[in-house]
């Protein structure tokens, strides 16, 4: 009986000792709103507007409702340059908002934001004026 108790104690001690020696990996999930080097799309800010104009497919019935509206969106530029956590803040209808999110999700990866020499997650705010090109009217 004593052998069993000692064996159980040794096993518990070995499990506890092993669990305590593993390093704890801390993942930084902080989303910054201001950084030393802000994220930017390939080609810069001008390329962002051109990309939206080129890839946006206006939902037909919304052309009259949403054209000429200022639209504000925000998302997170991840450490690897991918975009996530999209939200339409103001301006576009729900249907057009979905289309804008589709366009932004299709973008190539961005240059990520940097803080203290490290890549960090950064909230990006996009404010655009939506209008149809002459060929779409």
Q: Considering the entire predicted model, what is its pTM? A: 0.73
How many other CB atoms are found less than 10 A from the CB of residue 73? 20
Whether 5 is in a domain gets the answer no
- Angle at CA 44, nearest 5°, toward 41 and 50? 85
pLDDT of residue 9: 46
Enclosing domain of residue 83: 25-136
Between 121 and 50, name the one with better pLDDT: 121
How many distinct structural domains can be found in the chain? 1
Residue 64 lies in a domain: yes
> What is the DSSP annotation of 109-136?
PPBPEEETTEEEEEEEEEEEE----GGG
**At 85, which CATH number?**
3.30.1150
Weakest-pLDDT range from 13-17, 58-62, 111-115, 123-127? 13-17
């Amino acid at each position: 009986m004593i052998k069993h108790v000692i064996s159980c104690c040794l096993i518990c001690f070995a499990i506890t000792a092993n669990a305590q020696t593993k390093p704890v990996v801390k993942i930084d999930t902080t989303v910054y709103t201001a950084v030393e080097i802000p994220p930017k799309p390939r080609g810069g800010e001008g390329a962002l507007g051109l990309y939206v104009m080129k890839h946006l497919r206006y939902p037909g019935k919304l052309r009259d409702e949403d054209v000429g509206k200022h639209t504000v969106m925000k998302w997170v530029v991840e450490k690897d340059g991918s975009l996530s956590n999209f939200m339409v803040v103001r301006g576009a209808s729900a249907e057009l908002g979905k289309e804008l999110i589709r366009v932004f999700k299709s973008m190539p990866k961005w240059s990520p934001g940097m803080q203290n020499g490290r890549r960090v997650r950064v909230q990006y705010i996009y404010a655009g004026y939506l209008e149809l090109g002459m060929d779409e009217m």
